Structure 1
């Protein structure tokens, strides 16, 4: 977490969602999450609560640049890897 603003007690939090998906499924889920965070994408000005979203490519997972070792292990066990 980034430093907390002492004036308002707010800080930056990261929420991670690990899933095993095709590129198309990942982009669909990314779009759905974006609409949940901002149901009116054409609104004026920034969102009330600033946010961002990203999809980590499989290469990053394969190289261990994330914290999804358990997800990869489960996919291997299920034969999906």
Structure 2
């Protein structure tokens, strides 16, 4: 079966400590799934690869979600971060892996209240330029 390169992006509005913890837990999920991958955490000052907008614009709804849940509360050190995962899959569909990764942030997708850490996830096919080295791993 041919291998496919994909990228999963998870935007979070979190403290640096929470962002690091979530990234580590996502790494554990990826190691358990035994997929070849590259995992990175980038902060709000970055622009997504191939993109033209900074992360603060890409995920501008996340701070607003937090503010709606916590009116008149200082967000402290919360900032927008993006967890980027390049991976090699045997199938072009990455939804099962993306779903497992988002369970790190939201273990119960059926809960009624908003998540304590606002998040957004997406996935798409990735090109050889950014993740081609994973095919040779």
Seen in structure 2, the aligned counterparts of structure 1 residues 74 and 17 have a Cα distance that, compared at 3 Å, is closer
Q: Which runs of 5+ in 1 are unaligned?
A: none
2:132 paired with 1:72: yes
Q: CA RMSD in A?
A: 2.5
Structure 2 counterparts to residues 1-81 of structure 1, below 5 A? 1=44, 2=56, 7=74, 8-21=76-89, 22-24=91-93, 26-58=94-126, 61=127, 69=130, 71-75=131-135, 77=136
Bigger RCO of structures 1 and 2 (CA < 8 A, at least 6 apart): 2
Q: Which runs of 5+ in 2 are unaligned?
A: 1-43, 45-55, 57-62, 64-73
Partner of 2:67: none
Partner of 2:50: none
- Distance between the aligned counterparts of 2:82 and 2:117, measured in 1? 13
- Distance between the aligned counterparts of 1:53 and 1:74, measured in 2? 22
Q: Count residues with an aligned counterpart.
A: 66
When normalised by structure 2's length, the TM-score is 0.41
- Distance between the aligned counterparts of 1:74 and 1:14, measured in 2? 20
Seen in structure 2, the aligned counterparts of structure 1 residues 28 and 57 have a Cα distance that, compared at 3 Å, is same
